[in-house]
Structure 1
Amino acid sequence: MKIAMVGSGYVGLVSGACFADFGHEVVCIDKDQSKIDRLHDGIMPIYEPGLDQLVANNVKAGRLTFTTDLAEGIAGASAIFIAVGTPSRRGDGHADLSFVYAVAQEVGQNLSNEAVIVTKSTVPVGTGDEVERILRDSGTAHRVAVVSNPEFLREGAAIDDFKRPDRIVIGAEDEFGREVMREVYRPLFLNESPILFTGRRTSELIKYAANAFLATKITFINEMADLCEKVGANVQDVSRGIGMDNRIGSKFLHAGPGYGGSCFPKDTLALLKTAEDYDSPTRIVEAVVKVNESRKRAMGRKVLDAIGGHDGARGKKVALLGLTFKPNTDDMRDSPAIAVAQTLTDAGVEVAAYDPEGMDLAKPLMPDVTMCSDPYEAIEDADAIAIVTEWDAFRALDLARVKSLAKAPVMVDLRNIYRPDDMRERGFAYTSIGRG
């Protein structure tokens, strides 16, 4: 089967490469000529473990190609995926669907055969209806079906998530759409990956509901961490204790500086706006968004407290280890590190930072932060070290070297990757999250 993937960003490129690896013929389409040129040269526009090799293998096998020509790319394709960005719209927080609708318009004008148009982008309820209207009004003479097929990829583990999914959700309104999507996912169906067929609007809502629920779990355990610090409890034990309950589960119960990334912040906000439009308030999600935003600045204040508080911080130096919103990605979108760094620099603190993959994207977001070549350069002469992202590289720091380089052996571990007793034995003034 020929598949066209319109949009060669995170979702489009990972999905396209994985579909090609299943044996489909895949064309990835993007208007950004420089991005397509880099892909032709084997240069990935994003950092995702294993993606470069997966792309190279399928390009070599002739199953994966790249183009800027949409008409050429969709010709003969049985399934055309829309995988363009849906960022929060400036001013009102709604998902910006202009890119999705522009693709739908162009597809309708250039369609040369019957096809299923699949929204892979995260879109609010009812978007598929509008895509269907746009295609109908474009005057295409070919049979089309519009299907919703949300992605559930974790950055840093996207390839494995795609090939071994918890579930595949397909929202279709007719048998033509369901039939084509069964063929698209036939390799996974044979592996007994669960496929859930729903209505299109239900599928669109499932994506938002899933992300909002996970964001709620993160925010809940972060609030429990604050309570643990007040009462002298250990949030990691609390997480284990409640996570062993099968009704709750252990995932997304790790206390930290708040959620960020390309999905949770914009998707929770988009869900709130959809709920407002339909006069069906989502008070829990509203609280989650507010608590998460305030938490990021609170983590900056936590670091300030470790170096004497706001009034005594001016002129001191803090080393920030980790800038991306999570490890194994270069994604800086809504990363807690941005708010932490801003809180510190606002207080007159000199900030030096290191991240294994995110510094190029971090530089324009953190103009007052000095980017360093390794963690030890950042730590040199620092009054405190703050671990903001739990990269594996930070789990095995040479602590003797850290102590000798730093001006003061002060560590604020916002990801709880070290043991408090061990750090105290090594002579560190150690602060973590929710562990008394």
Structure 2
Amino acid sequence: MQFLEQVSKEIGKCLHEFKVIVVKSTVPVGTSDKVKQWIKESCSQADDFAVVSNPEFLREGSALYDALQPDRIVIGSDCRQAITILNKLYEQACCPILITSSSSAELIKYASNSFLALKISFVNELAKLCDHLEIDIQGVAEGMGLDHRIGEHFLQAGIGYGGSCFPKDVDALLHTSKKHGVDLTILEKVVEVNKTQPLYMIEKIRNMLGSLKEKKVGILGLAFKPHTDDLRESPSLKILQVLDEEKAIVQVHDPVATLPSSTFSSHITQCETPYLAATDADAILICTDWPEYRQLDWKKINKLLKHPYLFDGRNMLDAHMLSQLGFLYEGVGKKSGVHSSTLL
């Protein structure tokens, strides 16, 4: 917010004719009004501008596609002239354009990301039940997603969400709700589930290996999602922390991301290839669903492992195929011996 205040006042000093100031950042509800006030404080022509909230809905790793093919455009302003200018800017867009207040636009961004986070935590909770019932969560999620009211997106069970958006935006919405004396109890549970989800996979590994002390674990993937080197709030870091605390020996690989200095340890090393990460390991764990991991020579990896334990933290691999190669496969709500559904 201090940076927003700084740039708002700088803009105010430069205004000499009508201008539209567009806030694209994900900001707390009411920020556009603050931007307007900050500009007025340093602007001699206090009424010769408009502030518009126009939140971006870009996914990390596919921002260009999302910018050119948006699902919707939200314009938050009470200035008719500013709305006309923004509509002209987006006249080539083939998607719904919603005109609303600036505060509503700001809340839409937080609410959207929080709901997606909710879907992830919900399917992760359901996956735990599937483990006990010996049901494949992927078939359940597919059956749910075919309902257009639910949709297929963000129903992939795994070790939890991370990145720069979901954790921050959910926390921000919870902060706003508490500030106004409103409890968002469902959202509080979303955060709780996500924090414990990486530990659920650690527990699966313990059940197979017993004590993790001096056990060698290969980790495939550091980034919170594929096609980025972003480690912010990545579930893999929580897993590395626990493995290090329990004195496991960890061999890590990621195609682009590198271990942060905060994880430096005599027990953790980064490998140049997935095959080196698997060499002599007691188990291997997938933390990021990089497409190249699907193309690995898994028969070769099986031979490199000390024990054929494969933990798929992203449910990205074919459990049946891997079991035929001799792996003892365990996903999240997904086991090698559990029947999966087929869509005809």
TM range (shorter): over 0.9
Give % identity. Answer: 43
Aligned with residue 329 of structure 1, among 225, 228, 247: 228
Gaps of 5+ in 2: 336-344
User: Whole-Å Cα distance in 1 between the matches of residues 15 and 272 of structure 2?
Assistant: 50
Residues in 2 aligned to 1:393 and 1:305: alpha-carbon distance in whole angstroms? 28
| Runs of 4+, deviation exceeding 4 Å | none
Say which SS state the counterpart of residue 261 (structure 1) adopts.
Answer: coil
CA separation in 1, counterparts of 2:59 and 2:205?
Answer: 29
* Residue in structure 2 matched with residue 131 of structure 1 by the alignment: 35
CA distance in 2, matches of 1:364, 1:118: 37
Instruction: Give the one of 113, 119, 131 matched to 1:217.
Output: 119
Equivalent positions of 1:337-416 (< 5 A) are 337-359=236-258, 362-368=259-265, 369-416=268-315
Counterpart of 2:340? none
Once residues 273 and 260 of structure 2 are traced to their aligned partners in structure 1, the CA distance between those partners, rounded to angstroms, is 15
Q: 2: distance between equivalents of 1:125 and 1:281?
A: 17
Match of 1:419 among 293, 314, 318: 318
Q: What is the correspondence of 1:92-103 to structure 2 with a 5 Å cutoff?
A: 97-103=1-7
Partner deviation per Cα, 1:344-377 (whole Å, 9 max, x = no partner) = 1111101111111111xx3224212311111111
Q: Which residue of 1 aligns with 2:188?
A: 286
In structure 2, the CA distance between the partners of 1:211 and 1:408, relative to structure 1 (3 Å rule), is same
Give the letter aligned to residue 27 of structure 2.
Answer: V
Q: Which amino acid aligns with 1:363?
A: P
1:419, CA displacement in angstroms?
Answer: 2.2
- Paired amino acid for 2:303: S
Distance 1:150 1:263 in 2: 13
Amino acid in the other structure paired with 2:39 = L
Q: Deviations over 1:177-221 (max 9, x none)?
A: 112212322332xxx222111111100000000001000000000
Alignment of 1:290-329 (within 5 A): 290-306=192-208, 308-309=209-210, 312-329=211-228
Matches of 2:250 and 2:17 in 1, distance apart? Answer: 57
Letter paired with 1:124: P
Match of 1:156 in 2: 61
Using the TM superposition, name which of 291-300 and 170-179 deviates more.
Answer: 291-300
Q: 2:152 aligns with which of 238, 242, 250?
A: 250
Q: CA deviation at 1:422?
A: 1.7
Q: 1:342, CA displacement in angstroms?
A: 0.8
Q: Call closer, same or farther: CA 1:140–1:411 in 2, change over 3 Å.
A: farther
Query: Do the aligned partners of 1:327 and 1:391 also contact (CA within 8 Å) in 2?
Result: yes
Report the CA distance between 1:298 and its aligned residue: 2.5
Deviates more, 1:291-300 or 1:158-167: 291-300
Distance between the aligned counterparts of 1:434 and 1:245, measured in 2?
21
Q: Deviations over 1:285-332 (max 9, x none)?
A: 1110111112123323333333x23xx221111111011111011111
Query: Do the aligned partners of 1:338 and 1:365 also contact (CA within 8 Å) in 2?
Result: no
Query: What is the CA-CA distance between 1:343 and the residue it aligns to?
Result: 1.1
- Name the residue aligned to 1:429: 328
Aligned match of 1:118: 22
Q: What is the distance in 1 between the residues matched to 2:145 and 2:27?
A: 31
**More displaced 10-residue stretch of structure 1: 264-273 or 419-428:** 419-428
The aligned counterpart of 2:161 is 259
Amino acid at match of 1:154: R
Structure 2 residue 86 is the aligned partner of structure 1 residue 181? yes
State how far apart, in whole Å, the 1-side matches of 2:204 and 2:44 are.
59
Q: TM-score, normalised by structure 2?
A: 0.93
Structure 2 contact 9–39 (Cα < 8 Å) conserved? yes
Structure 1 counterpart of 2:78, which letter? Answer: E
CA shift digits 1:365-406 (9 cap, x unpaired) = 421231111111111111111001000110111012101222
Q: How does 1:1-16 map to 2 (within 5 A)?
A: none
1:250 is paired with a residue whose SS is coil
User: Equivalents in 1 of 2:222, 2:204: separation in Å?
Assistant: 17
Taking the aligned partners of 1:406 and 1:108, their CA distance within structure 2 comes to 63
Q: What do the CA deviations read for 1:252-285 (whole angstroms, capped 9, x no partner)?
A: 0000000101100000000001011111211111
Correspondence for 2:339:
none
Question: 1:268 is matched with which residue: 136, 147, 170?
Answer: 170
For 1:364, give the aligned amino acid: S
- Report the equivalent of 1:238: 140
Partner Cα separation in structure 1 for residue 150 and residue 99 of structure 2: 25
**73, 84, 96: which is aligned to 1:168?**
73
**TM-score, structure 1 normalization:** 0.74
| 1:107 alignment partner in structure 2 | 11
The answer to which structure, 1 or 2, has the higher relative contact order (CA under 8 A, 6+ apart) is: 2
Shift of residue 112, structure 1, vs aligned partner = 4.1
Give the aligned partner of residue 30 of structure 1: none
2:74 partner SS? strand
Give the CA deviation at 1:103.
1.4
How far the C-alpha of 1:115 sits from its partner, in A, is: 1.2
DSSP 3-state at the match of 2:92: helix
Deviation readout 1:37-87 (Å, 9 max, x if unpaired): xxxxxxxxxxxxxxxxxxxxxxxxxxxxxxxxxxxxxxxxxxxxxxxxxxx
Equivalent AA in structure 1 for residue 42 of structure 2: S
Distance 2:221 2:155 in 1: 20
- RMSD value, Cα: 1.3
